[in-house]
C-alpha cells in the first residue's frame, strides 16, 4: 500500500518511514502540506499520515483540500498530533481526518491504526465495486430492454419488406420478358405507309426518352441490393434478439465437435470466403447444453477469426479437457490481432472497429452471454499483427439443472 507521510520534522519522518517500510508498505515523504498535496496528485496514495502543524499548508487545511478536491479512490487520513483536547480532535475530524494518533508515536499503536485504515479501505473498495457492478447491470438491463423493443418493432415491417422485394424481383423479370417480346414484335413490323412509320418512330422515341431498356437492366441489381440490405438488417435484428433473449431453445445432449463444424461452416458461408482450418478435436463426451446457442457463439467467434485474416492466414481449432470438470474450445487465428487498449472493450455490446454498416459490435457480447449461460467463460489473448486466440471454457456437466428447470428437458438426442 502507498502511504504518504507529511511531517516537517525530519527525525520523526524518518522514524515513521522506517516503521512503515518494515511492515512492507511503500512510503512517500513530504516536508510540508503543499509538497504532500503534490504527491497526492501524482501517486496512488491510499493512506495519508499528516502532522498537524506544518509550514505552507497545515494538516487540517490539507485534510479539507483532500476531501473537497480529490476525486478517485478514497484516501484514509490519520492526523499526527500532540494535541489531545477534545475540541482540537473534533476540528480534526470535522476537517476530514478519519483517525488520529498522539505524538510521540508508538510503533505498535501506529501499525494497529494502519490496519484499521486498511480494513476501512477494503470495505470502501468493495462498496465501490458493487456500486459499479450495479450501475453496469442497470445500464445493461435498460440497453437490453431498448434492443428488445427495437428488434420487435423492426421485425414486422422487415418481413413484409423482404416479401415485397421478392415479389418485385419476380415482377421485374416478367416485365423484362414482356419488353423483350415487345421489342422483337416492334422490330418485325415493316411499315407499309407513312402513318405506321410515324407511329413506329414515336414508339422508339418514347422508349429512348423513358430509358426503358436501362431501367429494366438496372431493376434486378436494385432488387438484389435491397434484398442484401434487408438480409443485413435481419441479421442485426437476430443478434439483438439473442442479445435480449438468449435462452429460448430446448437443452439436450449434443456433440461439441459437431457444434464447432456447423458454427464454422455457417461462418464460412456468411463470410463468403474460406480459409485453411486445422482442427484438432479431442474425443469429448456429449454435453447437455443448448446446441443452437453454442453454435451461435462459435459462429460469432469463427466469423471474427475469418474476418481478421489476411492473405495466407489460417485458423486452428482445438478442443481438450482442461481438468475433470471443464472442457476448452480454442479458436486461434493468425489474423490482424487486437490492440491491447481495445482488448478490454471487445465484449462490450455495440463495440466494433468495423466500418459503418459492417458490424454491430454484438457478436462477441452475444457469444460471451451464451457461454456464461452455460456456466462457462471466454478468455482472449491477442497480439497485433500476429493473431488472436479465443478460449471457451465450459463445465463438462453442462448447464445447471436449475437453469433449465423453466424449460422441458428432452431425452438425449442427436443434433437436428
Ligand atoms: N479474431 C479477431 N481478430 C481481430 N479482431 C477481433 C477478433 N475478434 C473480435 N475482434 C475485434 O472485436 C470487435 C468486436 O467484435 P464483435 O464480434 O463483438 O463485433 P463485430 O465483429 O465488430 O460486429 P458483429 O456484430 O457483426 O459481429 C471487432 O470489431 C474487432 O475489432
Ligand atoms: Mg463479429
Give the per-residue pLDDT at 409.
31
Kindly state if the Cβ of 48 falls inside 6 Å of ligand 1: no
pLDDT band at 136 (very low <50, low <70, confident <90, very high): low
Nearest-5° Cα angle at 260, 258 to 263: 105
Instruction: Tell me the percentage of the chain whose pLDDT exceeds 70.
Output: 90
241-245, 257-261, 355-359, 411-415: least confident range: 411-415
**Which ligand is located closest to the Cα atom of residue 388?**
1
Grid cell for residue 247? 435462452
Q: Which residue has the higher pLDDT, 250 or 106?
A: 106
> String of b and e for 17-52 (b: at least 16 CB within 10 Å)?
bebbeeeebebbbbbbbbbbbebbeeeebbbbbbbb
Grid cell for residue 144? 437490453
Kindly state if the Cβ of 305 falls inside 6 Å of ligand 1: yes
Residue 8 has pLDDT above 50, yes or no: yes
Kindly state if the Cβ of 361 falls inside 6 Å of ligand 1: yes
Give the per-residue pLDDT at 204.
87
Site to probe by mutation for ligand 1, drawn from 331, 363, 388 as the one with most ligand atoms within 8 Å of Cβ, is: 363
Q: Is 368 helix (H, G, I), strand (E, B) or coil?
A: helix
pLDDT tens profile 296-309: 899 999 999 999 99
- Measured between alpha carbons, how far is 81 from 58 in angstroms, rounded to an integer? 12
Give the per-residue pLDDT at 234.
84
Give the per-residue pLDDT at 402.
36
pLDDT band at 404 (very low <50, low <70, confident <90, very high): very low
Q: Which fold has domain 2-105?
A: Rossmann fold (3.40.50)
Site to probe by mutation for ligand 1, drawn from 309, 316, 333, 346 as the one with most ligand atoms within 8 Å of Cβ, is: 346
Residue 21 has pLDDT above 90, yes or no: yes
- Measured between alpha carbons, how far is 370 from 375 in angstroms, rounded to an integer? 9
**Which ligand is located closest to the Cα atom of residue 238?**
1
**Which ligand is located closest to the Cα atom of residue 389?**
1
pLDDT band at 141 (very low <50, low <70, confident <90, very high): low
Distance from the Cα of residue 384 to its chain's centroid = 18
Kindly state if the Cβ of 66 falls inside 6 Å of ligand 1: no
Closest-CA residue, ligand 1 atom 4, reads 337
Domain ranges (residues) in the chain: 2-105, 142-244, 252-395
Candidates 3.40.50.1110, 3.40.50.300, 3.50.50.100, 3.30.565.10; correct CATH number of 252-395? 3.30.565.10
Mean pLDDT across the stretch 208-217? 87
Residue 325 has pLDDT above 90, yes or no: no
pLDDT tens profile 231-280: 888 877 876 766 565 544 567 888 999 899 988 988 888 888 889 999 99
Mean pLDDT across the stretch 371-388? 93
- Average per-residue pLDDT in the chain? 86
pLDDT band at 396 (very low <50, low <70, confident <90, very high): confident
Residue 413 has pLDDT above 60, yes or no: no
Length of the chain: 416
Instruction: Tell me the percentage of the chain whose pLDDT exceeds 90.
Output: 47
pLDDT band at 400 (very low <50, low <70, confident <90, very high): low
pLDDT tens profile 45-104: 999 999 988 988 999 999 999 998 877 788 999 999 887 778 888 888 999 999 999 888
**Are domains 2-105 and 252-395 of this chain identical in fold?**
no
Kindly state if the Cβ of 306 falls inside 6 Å of ligand 1: no
Amino acid at each position: 500500500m502507498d502511504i504518504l507521510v507529511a511531517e516537517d520534522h525530519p527525525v520523526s519522518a524518518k522514524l515513521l518511514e522506517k516503521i512503515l517500510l518494515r511492515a512492507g508498505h511503500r512510503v512517500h515523504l513530504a516536508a510540508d502540506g503543499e509538497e504532500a498535496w503534490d504527491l497526492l496528485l501524482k501517486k496512488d496514495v491510499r493512506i495519508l499520515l499528516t502532522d498537524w502543524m506544518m509550514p505552507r499548508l497545515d494538516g487540517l487545511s490539507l485534510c479539507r483540500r483532500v476531501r473537497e478536491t480529490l476525486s478517485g479512490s478514497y484516501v484514509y487520513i490519520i492526523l499526527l498530533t500532540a494535541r489531545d483536547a477534545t475540541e482540537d480532535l473534533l476540528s480534526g475530524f470535522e476537517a476530514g481526518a478519519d483517525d488520529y494518533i498522539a505524538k510521540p508515536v508508538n510503533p505498535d499503536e501506529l501499525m494497529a491504526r494502519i490496519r484499521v485504515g486498511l480494513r476501512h479501505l477494503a470495505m470502501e473498495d468493495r462498496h465501490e465495486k458493487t456500486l459499479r457492478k450495479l450501475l453496469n447491470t442497470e445500464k445493461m438491463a435498460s440497453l437490453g430492454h431498448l434492443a428488445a423493443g427495437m428488434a420487435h418493432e423492426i421485425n414486422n415491417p422487415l418481413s413484409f419488406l423482404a416479401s415485397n422485394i421478392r415479389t418485385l424481383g419476380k415482377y421485374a423479370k416478367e416485365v423484362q420478358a414482356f419488353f423483350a417480346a415487345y421489342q422483337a414484335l416492334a422490330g418485325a413490323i415493316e411499315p407499309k405507309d407513312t402513318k405506321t412509320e410515324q407511329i413506329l418512330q414515336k414508339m422508339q422515341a418514347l422508349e429512348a426518352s423513358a430509358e426503358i431498356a436501362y431501367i429494366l437492366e438496372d431493376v434486378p441489381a436494385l432488387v438484389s441490393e435491397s434484398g442484401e440490405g434487408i438480409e443485413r438488417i435481419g441479421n442485426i435484428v437476430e443478434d439483438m434478439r439473442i442479445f435480449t433473449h438468449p435462452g429460448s431453445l430446448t437443452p439436450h445432449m449434443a456433440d461439441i465437435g459437431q457444434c464447432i463444424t456447423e458454427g464454422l461452416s455457417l461462418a464460412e458461408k456468411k463470410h463468403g470466403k474460406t480459409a485453411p482450418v486445422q482442427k484438432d478435436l479431442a474425443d469429448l463426451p456429449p454435453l447437455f447444453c443448448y446446441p443452437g446457442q453454442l453454435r451461435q457463439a462459435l459462429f460469432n467467434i469463427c466469423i471474427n477469426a475469418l474476418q481478421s485474416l489476411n492473405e495466407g492466414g489460417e485458423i486452428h481449432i482445438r478442443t481438450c479437457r482442461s481438468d475433470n470438470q471443464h472442457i476448452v474450445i480454442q479458436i486461434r487465428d493468425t489474423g490482424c490481432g487486437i490492440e491491447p487498449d481495445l482488448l478490454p472493450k471487445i465484449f462490450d455490446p455495440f463495440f466494433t472497429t468495423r466500418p459503418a454498416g459492417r458490424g454491430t459490435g454484438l457478436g462477441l457480447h452475444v457469444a460471451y452471454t451464451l457461454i456464461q449461460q452455460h456456466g462457462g467463460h471466454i478468455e482472449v489473448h491477442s497480439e497485433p499483427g500476429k493473431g488472436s486466440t479465443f478460449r471457451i471454457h465450459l463445465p463438462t456437466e453442462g448447464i445447471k439443472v436449475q437453469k433449465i428447470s423453466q424449460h422441458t428437458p428432452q431425452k438425449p438426442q442427436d443434433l437436428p
